[in-house]
Amino acid sequence: MVSSINIKQKNIVFIGASSAAMGASLEWCENHHKEYRFIMIEAKTHYNHVFAFPRASVITGFEEQLFCPYDNMFFGDDTIGKVINARALEIQKEYIQLDRIVPGFGDRVEYAYLVYTAGTRIPAPGRFNDLTSKDECIAKLQEYQKVIKESQNPIIIGAGAVGLELASEIKEHYPEKNVILLHSRNRYLPRYKVSMDVMIYNILKKNGVKQKLGDRVILPADGFPLKVKPVEILTQGGKTINGDLAIMCIGMSPNNSLIKAIAPESINPETGFIKIKSTMQIQDDNFPNIFAAGDVCDHTDVKTGHYAWMQGLAVLNNIRKLIAGASQDELEPYKSKDLALIKVILGEKEAVTQTHQLGPLITYGSWVGGRSVPHNIYASFTWGILHAEDRLETIINAQSTKT
């Protein structure tokens, strides 16, 4: 491992190891600039492959595959880049304040360019917002597994992708359970084609999930405890739904606090998302070297990993232009295809996909997309972009030996 740091190098710093940062880091590894290094500040010790969390909240045995270490992201060469395991506390004009002392940096990281990719908060088990270690996250997944196994009448509140997938996994793995899915809208995933809604609804109906749409739940101030006990859920339409476990899968809020503190005018006051220029710079001319990408942005893109990835690449492209001496007018605007793309995985052999890979935007169901989904929900891809495929293979082999 290269341990010495070239002190003449300048830093391109990403706050948050989201999909937006991942795409950019992979491109940087392939074509880095010798006078700059890619620094990623991330509080979590391992990359969380959250796409598989709905399944891992129900089924045990593969949790470890969902947490990939960052230590080989830049092949151990600190002159290319480095992941700093720390929490960013504050953004200043020229540096980021950290919550701890980091060897080679101290308690702050200077930056020439800053990219804010801190993402959003969503309820567990879609994401574990405040858990930072691999062991903590695995323990929480196993806690969900335990209560879901004990429950006979689980109620899933909210039918975004996480709610749909969680309800499907529970019903498939425990067909005897009375699974209820509550959704405030009259259809699923309104940004997508109507055919997505129809296919998803019919798969859930076929599998026995009780779907109650078009009525909003009255949420208690403290939410619902992760315990199996009688629960009574009231709706704004005057209905009462009884069960013994309630899991909320609704609500998304941007992690905007650091940008809000330094550039409050760049925050959309209605949504809290970060306003950006077409070049992906934040909307504050005092900070032309600060960009934002991914779910935290106020953008028309659907908030999925695919578009976060593309935005991160667009940011890095403009940073390269600035490094080469380009003016503001010479930067390239991010050109989104503005298409709603997604794959909703509804159990081991069921899925509904909306894609444009064949040209026009189409939706197809399980016969094409459902039978090719690996058990770990493509976790191998994550280990690949972090250059740790060999370690995943070791984990899988060890788990196979145990079984």
Q: What is the pLDDT of residue 371?
A: 83
Name the pTM for this structure: 0.94
Q: In this structure, what CATH number is given to the domain that contains residue 315?
A: 3.50.50.60
Is residue 317 situated within a structural domain?
yes
CA distance 322 to 316: 10
- With beta carbons less than 8 A apart as the criterion, state whether 370 and 350 touch: yes
Residue 147 lies in a domain: no
**DSSP 8-state assignment for residue 150:** H
347 belongs to a structural domain: no
User: Does 72 fall in a domain?
Assistant: no
Asked whether residue 293 falls in the same domain as residue 320, the answer is yes
Region 165-182: mean pLDDT is 98
On whether residue 77 sits in a domain, the answer given is no
Q: How confident is the model at residue 368 (pLDDT cuts 50, 70, 90)?
A: confident
> What's the chain's average pLDDT?
95
Q: What percent of the chain has pLDDT over 70?
A: 98
Q: Rounded to an integer, what distance in angstroms lies between the CA atom of residue 346 and that of residue 329? A: 46
Q: What is the pLDDT of residue 7?
A: 55
Is 148 among the domain residues? no
355 pLDDT more than 50: yes
Task: Please state, in angstroms and rounded to a whole number, the distance separating the CA atoms of residues 96 and 16.
Answer: 13
Domain assignment of residue 344, yes or no? no
Tell me: do 94 and 158 sit in the same domain. no
Average pLDDT score over residue span 218-238: 95
Domain that holds residue 174: 153-250
**Last residue in a domain, options 203, 230, 250:** 250
Beta-sheet strand order (sheet of 351-355):
342-345, 351-355, 362-364
- Residue 6, pLDDT > 70, answer no
Task: Report how far residue 56's alpha carbon sits from residue 376's, in angstroms, rounded to the nearest whole number.
Answer: 8
What pLDDT, in 10s, does the model give residues 125-143? Answer: 999 999 999 999 999 999 9
Indicate whether 316 pLDDT > 60. Answer: yes
Asked whether residue 240 falls in the same domain as residue 258, the answer is no
> Across the strands, what pairs with 364?
353
In a domain, 245, yes or no: yes
Residue 363 has pLDDT above 70, yes or no: yes
> Which tokens in the block code for residue 373?
């989904």
- pLDDT grade, residue 2 (50/70/90)? very low
Q: Averaged over 82-111, what is the pLDDT?
A: 98
pLDDT at residue 357, rounded to an integer = 84
Q: How many domains does the chain have?
A: 2
Q: Final residue of a domain: which of 224, 250, 276?
A: 250
Last residue within a domain, chosen from 305, 330, 355: 330
Both 297 and 236 in one domain: the answer is no
The residues, ordered by sequence, that sit 6+ positions from 297 with a Cβ below 8 Å of its Cβ are 273, 274, 276, 280, 311
Is there a single domain that holds both residue 267 and residue 297? Answer: yes
CA distance 336 to 338: 5
More confident residue, 358 or 239: 239
Instruction: Quote the percentage of the chain above a pLDDT of 90.
Output: 92
